[in-house]
Structures are given as C-alpha cells and as structure tokens.
Amino acid sequence: MSTRYLLDTSALLLILKKDTTARHKLAIIGTENAYVASISLGELYYGAEHSTQVERNRAEVDELQRLSEVIFVDTATARIYGLLKHQQRMKGLLLPENDLWIAATAVQHSLTLVARDRHFRWVDGLALEQW
C-alpha cells in the first residue's frame, strides 16, 4: 500500500514555483496519492488576488487544483480541529488557524502532511514529511 499525502500550502507553492525537488517528489508519489485541503486552496487564491499578476496566478491555482483531489472541511474535521487546538493551548503553543485546519484534515484522512513549516511538529499524531 502506498502512502497518501496532503500537500500543505508551503508544498503547493514550491510546486507552483516549479521547484525541481518538489516536482520530482510529486512525480515519485504520483498525483493519485496527493491531496489538497480546501483551506490551502483558499490561501493560494488569496495570494493570487494579492499579487501583481492576478489572472495568471488564479489560472495557475486552478490548474494545480485539477491535479489532485480536493478535501473539504466537514464536521469530523471540525471535531479534530477542536481537539488539536485544545491540545496546543494546553501546551502553550498556538499554530496559525489555517495550519490547524490543514493538520486536522491530514489527521482525519490518515494522510502524511507535506509541509515546510516546522510548527506542524507540535501536533501529536500527525505524520509529517518536509520537502
């Protein structure tokens, strides 16, 4: 059985920027094993809107989201998010809100999260890989 991955916004940005290492790793795992959280898409679309080349960047995000299955937040995600946020607060740690939602999505679907942000290491039970 192959590992399935949730690509965090930081990993998706590497792919959009045509980073050879990230694109090579994506080719190895296969797009059929790579998923995107709707939260990450929102972050990418925000970046596109905030850029100087809005139309081009929107089109790149549109193309990227067609490569992988998008996973949407639901009630189960919300429960896991609540638990993770509580755990982080009890430790005196606070991850950015969107990153907590992305981590909850990975935990819910038993996906390995691909991210560059080191603070994801604070999340108990989260499989993490850095590209």
pLDDT digits 0-9 by tens, 87-116: 999 999 989 999 999 999 999 999 999 999
pLDDT digits 0-9 by tens, 67-90: 899 999 999 999 999 999 999 999
pLDDT band of 119, cuts 50, 70, 90: very high
User: Is the pTM higher than 0.85?
Assistant: yes
Q: How many percent of the chain have pLDDT more than 90?
A: 91
Distances from the Cα of 9 to the Cαs of 16, 34, 105, in angstroms? 10, 13, 13
**Which residue matches tokens 């193309």?**
63
Contacts of 24-32 with CB under 8 Å at 24 or more apart are: 25/114, 25/131, 29/2, 29/3, 29/5, 30/2, 31/67, 31/68
Indicate the domain borders of the chain.
5-129
Domain 5-129 has CATH 3.30.70.260: no
